[in-house]
Amino acid sequence: MRDKTKRKILTFTNTRTNFSAQTASDGHKGITLPLRCSPGLCTLDTPFKVPGQLTSPVSLLPTTKFHPPEGISTPNCLANSQLTTEYNSPIAITRFMWQATTLKQTMHLGNITFFESDPWAYNRTLVIQVLNRATNFVASCAFNDPELDGDTARWWPCFHDRRDSDGQEDHGGGSGSLLQREIETWIQFRSQNGELRINQTWYCASTSNSNSNSDDAYQITASSGIAPKLSGWNRYLGIFCGNGSNSLSGMPCPLAPVITGDACDYVFSTRWCTLGDRDGFASLLGGPLKIPLEKVDVVHLPSGEVTEPEPYPGKEEVWSCTVASLGRGPVKWTLQLNEGTDYFAQTAWFGRSDDTPLSDKPEVMTTWFTFSLNNSALAGYPPPITTSTTSSTSTTTDGILHHVGVREDIFNWIGVMTPGMRTFNPSLTVRHSDFGKGWPPGWKFPNALDWSLRFDIASGYLELNHSWYCNDKSAEKPVVFNGTWQGFLPLDCKWGFLKPSTAGGVVTRYGVSCGFAGGKREFVVTPSVVSHVSETRIPDRNVWA
């Protein structure tokens, strides 16, 4: 099983990267020095900075400024941002609707009911549009998360956080371009009492101070909330909640008829809250529903912080995907056992599997493996600005690719990863894309692009490929990294009762379980990484929210 030719690869580790840089703009001509010359002698009065640009391993142009956040230059932005009363508040809701619908099915033959289901969650929606009147910026988003079926204290990110590639969740509000500072809008809606809370962070230019640098800006963070009652300045506008139901009788049943003549009744029950009227538009008098601000924090940002790429001059110890990937020594990948597991891979020796359709084939053996990949280039991925005010369930961005390689060779994969099986195929490559669109990507940040791997549990041989990109220096021309590592994992394998696998659910069986040697929970490898500058923007990708 062991491939000696591949063992040689183990001894190769690319731990040094060649870099080169040259004078920026025109490396051949150079830059003109401000020399002070007298007959026969030229000198520099003061030290002079010669700007450069990286030319290898990628051509990284001098950092360019980002576009400022939208609405930053709106007249009277800063003053209007600090008005807190309901009448003149900058935060206004222009559209809102929440609904959660359940479905109950009754099957009957004539007047005889022989099946009646409990209501189950059918669909749900949270739609909101928030206008910031100080910047004229509109944040718009829609969510369909099952968590909305019941009361939840979750904070929903209603801003362009690069998660809306598949159109499932239009977090809106963004122009599509990468900004140094995003306007962040967070929404919390409690269906239990109809309370809506909004936290938003936005930016205003420092235009009122003629002595200030034009790049100066203020960051405003405000919190606001509203309860569903008809009170305040406009008593005709507010969030209204109610419920209703629709019935369909005598409809065909979804499955083949149990007996001739059977039919099904359906009852859709909906709880809803809307702004002003049932269709969700604020069409009543008074226009948008302005919400008083409960708290406003204003922070003066130093010059350039809204437009300069990181690290800012004078504040250089900040995380940069590009620098972390290119310039801090070789990239390291740490293969980590998943939480709650003590194995990297397992093979069931006797294939008794009560939770799969294979239960009628007890001779089938299965193999599964799963781990997390901690890429040192992405490990420092920073959290969103407003992490402290948000639910930890939706905003953690730890830079780790979770559940890489999660795979059990069941269904059409029977035995392909299990040595000794007739269908065993050690050349099988498992790709993230195998899991399809509905499978969570396993990462909570946009930079990871893909992974693929081959793994042979008999020898511990692993080929792991992983790609990512960095656009913190240029959104238009990001740097793409393709890494690969291949070698034999130091696995300790033992026979015994297998704990339930994450991939396969509750399973009762014996087999071989393999963890890292010495009981360690992680193993560090140094991949070979090549990089290139993409000539096009990397499209937004869906991530694990």
Partner 1 sequence: MSLSYIYWTVHDFTYRGGEGGDNLAEKATASFNLSLTSRTTGVRVRCHWGAGVGVTEYSDGNMIPECVPEGPDPLHSDSVFRLRFNATAKTLGVEQRWVCGDVAGTYS
Q: For residue 130, which of 36, 196, 211, 229 has the smallest C-alpha distance?
A: 196
Q: Which CB, 61 or 241, lies closer to partner 1?
A: 61
Place of tokens 């007047």: 111
Stretch that binds partner 1, among 194-202, 264-272, 277-285, 327-335 (CB under 8 A): 327-335
Provide the pairing of β-strand 400-408 with 345-348. unpaired
The angle subtended at Cα 405 by Cα 402 and Cα 411, nearest 5°, is: 125
Tokens standing for 9?
Answer: 């690869």
Q: Which CB, 57 or 174, lies closer to partner 1?
A: 57
Q: How far is the CB of 104 from partner 1 (least distance, A)?
A: 60
Q: How far is CA 325 from CA 16, 57, 454, in A?
A: 13, 11, 24
Tokens standing for 518?
Answer: 């010495």
| Interface residue with partner 1, options 100, 138, 183, 323 (CB under 8 A) | 323
Strand, coil or helix: 234? coil
Q: How far is the CB of 60 from partner 1 (least distance, A)?
A: 6
Handedness of CA 507, 510, 515, 518 (dihedral sign): positive
Can residue 328 be called a binding residue for partner 1 (CB under 8 A)?
yes
Provide the pairing of β-strand 400-408 with 263-275. unpaired
| Edge-to-edge strand ranges of the sheet holding 184-190 | 155-157, 184-190, 195-205, 217-226, 293-301
Q: How far is the CB of 49 from partner 1 (least distance, A)?
A: 5
| Interface residue with partner 1, options 6, 9, 63, 537 (CB under 8 A) | 63
Q: How far is the CB of 22 from partner 1 (least distance, A)?
A: 4
Stretch that binds partner 1, among 154-162, 171-179, 314-322, 456-464 (CB under 8 A): 314-322
Return d(Cα 238, Cα 415) in angstroms, integer: 60
Can residue 528 be called a binding residue for partner 1 (CB under 8 A)?
no
The angle subtended at Cα 321 by Cα 473 and Cα 488, nearest 5°, is: 140
Number of residues that bind partner 1 (CB under 8 A): 51
Q: How far is the CB of 375 from partner 1 (least distance, A)?
A: 16
Strand, coil or helix: 114? strand
* Contacting partner 1 within 254-313 (CB under 8 A): 309-311, 313
Can residue 13 be called a binding residue for partner 1 (CB under 8 A)?
yes
Can residue 388 be called a binding residue for partner 1 (CB under 8 A)?
no
Q: Which CB, 33 or 153, lies closer to partner 1?
A: 33
- At 266, which amino acid appears? Y
Give the 3-state DSSP-derived string for 485-503, with helices as H, strands as E and coil as C. Answer: EEEECCEEEEEEECCCECC
Provide the pairing of β-strand 91-109 with 120-132. antiparallel
Q: Which CB, 52 or 426, lies closer to partner 1?
A: 52
The angle subtended at Cα 17 by Cα 400 and Cα 309, nearest 5°, is: 60
| Interface residue with partner 1, options 228, 330, 419, 500 (CB under 8 A) | 330
Return d(Cα 434, Cα 450) in angstroms, integer: 11
| Interface residue with partner 1, options 3, 6, 22, 271 (CB under 8 A) | 22
Q: How far is the CB of 67 from partner 1 (least distance, A)?
A: 18
List the x/- string, 23-62, binding to partner 1 by CB under 8 A. xx--xxxxxxx-x-x-xxxxxx--xxxxxxxx-----x-x
Strand, coil or helix: 411? helix
Q: End-to-end CA distance of the chain, in Å?
A: 40
Q: Which CB, 224 or 374, lies closer to partner 1?
A: 374
Q: Which CB, 129 or 320, lies closer to partner 1?
A: 320
Q: Which CB, 33 or 299, lies closer to partner 1?
A: 33
Q: Which CB, 11 or 211, lies closer to partner 1?
A: 11
Q: Which CB, 37 or 506, lies closer to partner 1?
A: 37
Can residue 473 be called a binding residue for partner 1 (CB under 8 A)?
yes
Stretch that binds partner 1, among 104-112, 130-138, 144-152, 319-327 (CB under 8 A): 319-327
- At 301, which amino acid appears? L
DSSP string computed for 148-192: GGS---PEEE-S--S--TTSSS------SS--SS--EEEEEEETT
The 10 Å Cβ neighbour count of residue 296 is: 16
Can residue 227 be called a binding residue for partner 1 (CB under 8 A)?
no
Can residue 462 be called a binding residue for partner 1 (CB under 8 A)?
no
Q: How far is the CB of 331 from partner 1 (least distance, A)?
A: 11
Can residue 316 be called a binding residue for partner 1 (CB under 8 A)?
yes
| Interface residue with partner 1, options 1, 10, 21, 298 (CB under 8 A) | 21
User: Which residues make up the interface to partner 1 (CB under 8 A)?
Assistant: 13, 15-24, 27-33, 35, 37, 39-44, 47-54, 60, 62-63, 309-311, 313, 316, 320, 322-323, 326-330, 473
